[in-house]
């Protein structure tokens, strides 16, 4: 996922994080300067749904506008098919001296 908040803020005419912070406070969401800096400069690892709702309201957008899916990045993280085939082809060997119990009759 890619965080697109700064672009949406720019489209709403907000060029500074302090301005967005003030507008969020006017809408009832008090954000610390540190949290606002994290939202403004990077991709947040976590955001409360209530906060996201207010953020979307202030910016006039939807969560889908703020969170951009990147399927190419997801595909690059998948293991290669050849590596997966060799892992699945290996059978576990039983421990010598241990026998399985018989099922109940």
| Domain CATH number, residue 47 | 1.10.260
> Which pLDDT does position 103 carry in this prediction?
78
This prediction has a pTM of: 0.67
> Which pLDDT does position 51 carry in this prediction?
94
> In whole angstroms, what is the distance from residue 79 CA to residue 88 CA?
12
User: Quick one: tokens of 51?
Assistant: 């906060």
Would you say residue 44 lies in a domain?
Answer: yes
> In whole angstroms, what is the distance from residue 55 CA to residue 45 CA?
16
Would you say residue 76 lies in a domain?
Answer: no
Would you say residue 104 lies in a domain?
Answer: no
Would you say residue 64 lies in a domain?
Answer: yes
Would you say residue 29 lies in a domain?
Answer: yes
Would you say residue 48 lies in a domain?
Answer: yes
User: Quick one: tokens of 69?
Assistant: 């899916």
Q: Are 27 and 55 in contact (CB under 8 A)?
A: no
Q: Are 65 and 4 in contact (CB under 8 A)?
A: yes
By residue range, what is the domain housing residue 19? 2-68
Domain count, the chain: 1
Give me the tens of pLDDT residue by residue for the chain, a chain 105 residues long.
889 999 999 999 999 999 999 999 999 999 999 999 999 998 888 999 999 999 999 999 999 999 988 888 778 888 876 544 445 666 667 667 767 777 787
Would you say residue 80 lies in a domain?
Answer: no
> Which pLDDT does position 92 carry in this prediction?
67
Give CA angle at 89 (87, 93), nearest 5°.
95
Would you say residue 8 lies in a domain?
Answer: yes
> In whole angstroms, what is the distance from residue 89 CA to residue 50 CA?
47
> Which pLDDT does position 89 carry in this prediction?
63
């Amino acid at each position: 996922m890619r965080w697109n908040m700064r672009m949406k803020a720019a489209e709403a005419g907000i060029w500074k994080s302090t301005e967005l912070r003030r507008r969020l406070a006017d809408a009832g969401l008090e954000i610390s300067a540190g949290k606002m800096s994290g939202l403004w400069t990077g991709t947040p690892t976590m955001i409360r749904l209530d906060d996201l709702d207010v953020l979307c309201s202030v910016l006039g957008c939807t969560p889908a506008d703020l969170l951009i899916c990147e399927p190419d990045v997801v595909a690059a993280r998948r293991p290669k098919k050849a590596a997966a085939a060799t892992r699945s082809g290996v059978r576990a060997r039983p421990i010598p001296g241990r026998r399985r119990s018989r099922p109940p009759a």
